[in-house]
Amino acid sequence: MSVTAQKLVVALLSLALVAALVAAGSVDARRQAEARKHAEAMLDDAAQPQIARGRAVYTKYSCNACHAAGGTGGIMNLNAESGGKVNGLLHLSESYRPAELAEKIRNGVPTVGKGDPTGPDPPLHMPPYRDLIAGQEMRDLVAYLMSLRPPPGEAKSSAW
């Protein structure tokens, strides 16, 4: 192969790589947009007064700062074992009973596991809400969280 032909091959391969990266990026963006729409639809569904109140509790205590609006997650948490991001809260009803969930919120998550054991501690951890959320607010918040569901078609987190 001549040098020119080699250069051409390299150029074409680079182009193909760029195209693949762009395509992957747009798929990701589309999935995120779908997830957002789904989350918004769930919020509309939340006409039930208790769930609507629970959603207000969720923003009142800034749960959305780490877990995002609608509990979709994805806020950066460098070197966290959960893929370097804070997890979403869309699967809680699969693994928690309401009382356990309330207990989890009271205790928070003081230590977040590292993805790379030799890497830095993930900067975000969940504070305990023991002294802040109780009674009706806790019941409303738990009802809201238990109502969250992953977008249709997304794989379940738990193995069956």
Interface residue list for ligand HEC (CB under 6 A): 61-63, 65-67, 77, 80, 82, 86-87, 89, 92, 101, 104-105, 109, 112, 124-126, 129, 141
Nearer of residues 51 and 101 to ligand HEC, judged by Cβ: 101
Distance CA(71)–CA(55), nearest Å, equals: 10
Kindly state the tokens that stand for 41.
């639809």
> Least CB distance from residue 5 to ligand HEC, whole Å?
50
> Least CB distance from residue 22 to ligand HEC, whole Å?
29
Question: How many CA atoms, within 13 angstroms, populate the side-chain half-sphere of residue 154?
Answer: 15
> Least CB distance from residue 53 to ligand HEC, whole Å?
14
Kindly state the tokens that stand for 108.
């928070």
Nearer of residues 35 and 141 to ligand HEC, judged by Cβ: 141
> Least CB distance from residue 45 to ligand HEC, whole Å?
19
Cβ–Cβ < 8 Å for 139, 131: no
Distance CA(27)–CA(17), nearest Å, equals: 15
